[in-house]
Amino acid sequence: MSSRDPFTFLFDLSERSRATSRGLPAQVDIKQYWSGIGFRVCGRRLVAPMGDIAEVLEVPGSTRLPGVKNWVRGVANVRGRLLPIIDFEDYFGSSLSGSRKNRRVLTLDMGDIYCGLVVSEVFGMQHFPVDSYTDEALDCGNEFLQPLLKGAFVQGETFWGVFDAASLLESEAFLNAAALVA
């Protein structure tokens, strides 16, 4: 044992520890992020809030229905539940683009409405800093799609329109899928 007193020993130990320590990590500001499912429709990149999309599926086989508008592809059996399949591009007066293998169905299950929207492509989960949101009207170039967009997230030069599924499901044009029979 050393002849030093305990206080001096502890003081020396403390000084050596401070001299070899790495220090505390730098203070980092924590950014909040908004997450959604990214997809392409009418040539535009859109994003839907996570809670609005129940499921993303490959396009299932469907059975045509008589007496409905052209944008209703039919109905599919998805795990024992009948899912109306809507060609979302055709609904807006456009046509599906890109490769058939990239097309997906965004399943909406809100209230009493359960349906699947076929889109040209799904980009998966997208994360945007909350401060990159703008509520300015994004001109999407489609008069029918425009009312369904509630602001946008800006990511570099790319604008991601925020798709409001509730507005679609409340739309009289969407809910009235019956074709006029002469």
For 23-54, the pLDDT digits (tens) are 777 777 788 999 999 999 988 899 999 999 99
Confidence (pLDDT) at 97: 77
Cα(126)–Cα(62) distance, integer angstroms? 29
Residue 137's pLDDT is 64
Fold exhibited by the domain 33-175: OB fold (Dihydrolipoamide Acetyltransferase, E2P) (2.40.50)
142: Cα separation from own chain's centroid:
20
pLDDT at 93: 82
Query: Tell me, what's the pLDDT at 3?
Result: 63
Q: Is 68 exposed, middle or buried (0-12, 13-18, 19+ CB in 10 A)?
A: middle
Q: What is the mean pLDDT of each run of 10 residues along the chain (182 residues)?
A: 75 85 74 94 92 95 93 94 94 81 94 94 95 80 82 89 93 86 54
Give the separation between CA 156 and CA 167, rounded to whole angstroms: 28
State residue 153's pLDDT score: 93
Q: In whole angstroms, what is the distance from residue 71 CA to residue 165 CA?
A: 17
Q: Which amino acid is at 53?
A: I
Domain coordinates in residue numbering, the chain? 33-175
CA 109 to chain CA centroid, nearest Å: 15
The predicted structure's pLDDT at residue 21: 79
pLDDT of residue 96: 79
C-alpha 148/C-alpha 168 separation (Å) is: 6
Neighbours of 174 (CB within 10 A): 18
pLDDT value at residue 98: 75
pLDDT for the residue numbered 1: 47
